[in-house]
Amino acid sequence: MRAEMDEMRDTFYEEDTCQLQDMRRELERANKNCRILQYRLRKAERKRLRYAQTGEVDEELLRSLEQDLKVAKDVSVRLHHELEKVEEKRTKTEDENEKLRQKLIEVEVSKQALQNELDKTKEVAYVCLFHNVKDTLCCAMNYSEMQSNTHC
């Protein structure tokens, strides 16, 4: 039973570790994408300001930059929301992990208490068995004595 509990705990920790690593990788990818988009956004804003300051207005370039800026902002917002969701999942998984750890501890304590109770029950059973055997032997000896007294 102890081996099964250890195996269950190990399996639980392995699964939990894998989930945590996956979430961290996902979080790192989202952070990287967010940084890239923020860089592109700043670059597009600088270009727009430069063109606005110099007076050179290339309408096509301006529309393209504004479109890029809009896309970058949309993607940045979407990635931010995804990042929040991943963080919530991670927090939820950590909470579940802690609850399961507590439950495992409780189960191990209960198991130990049951084992102690089983040991006490065995001890009482052995004592009762000893007394029964002793009583049976005494009765047999008394019967044997009675038999030998009646033959005399």
Per-residue pLDDT tens for 11-66?
Answer: 877 888 888 898 889 889 988 988 998 998 888 888 778 777 877 666 777 788 88
Whether 94 and 52 have beta carbons less than 8 Å apart is answered as: no
What are the tens digits of pLDDT across the range 128-140? Answer: 777 777 778 788 7
Which sequence spans correspond to the domains of the chain? 2-151
**Closest C-alpha to 19, from 106, 101, 89, 73:** 89
pLDDT digits (tens, 9 = 90+) for 64-82: 888 989 999 999 899 999 9
What letter would DSSP give residue 126? H
Reading the block at residue 27, the tokens are 């979080």
User: Phi/psi of residue 57, each to 5°?
Assistant: -120, 105
> What's the confidence (pLDDT) of residue 91?
93
Q: What band does 152 get if pLDDT is binned at 50, 70 and 90?
A: low
Instruction: Supply the pLDDT for residue 124.
Output: 86
Q: What is the pLDDT of residue 81?
A: 93
What's the pLDDT at 57? Answer: 63
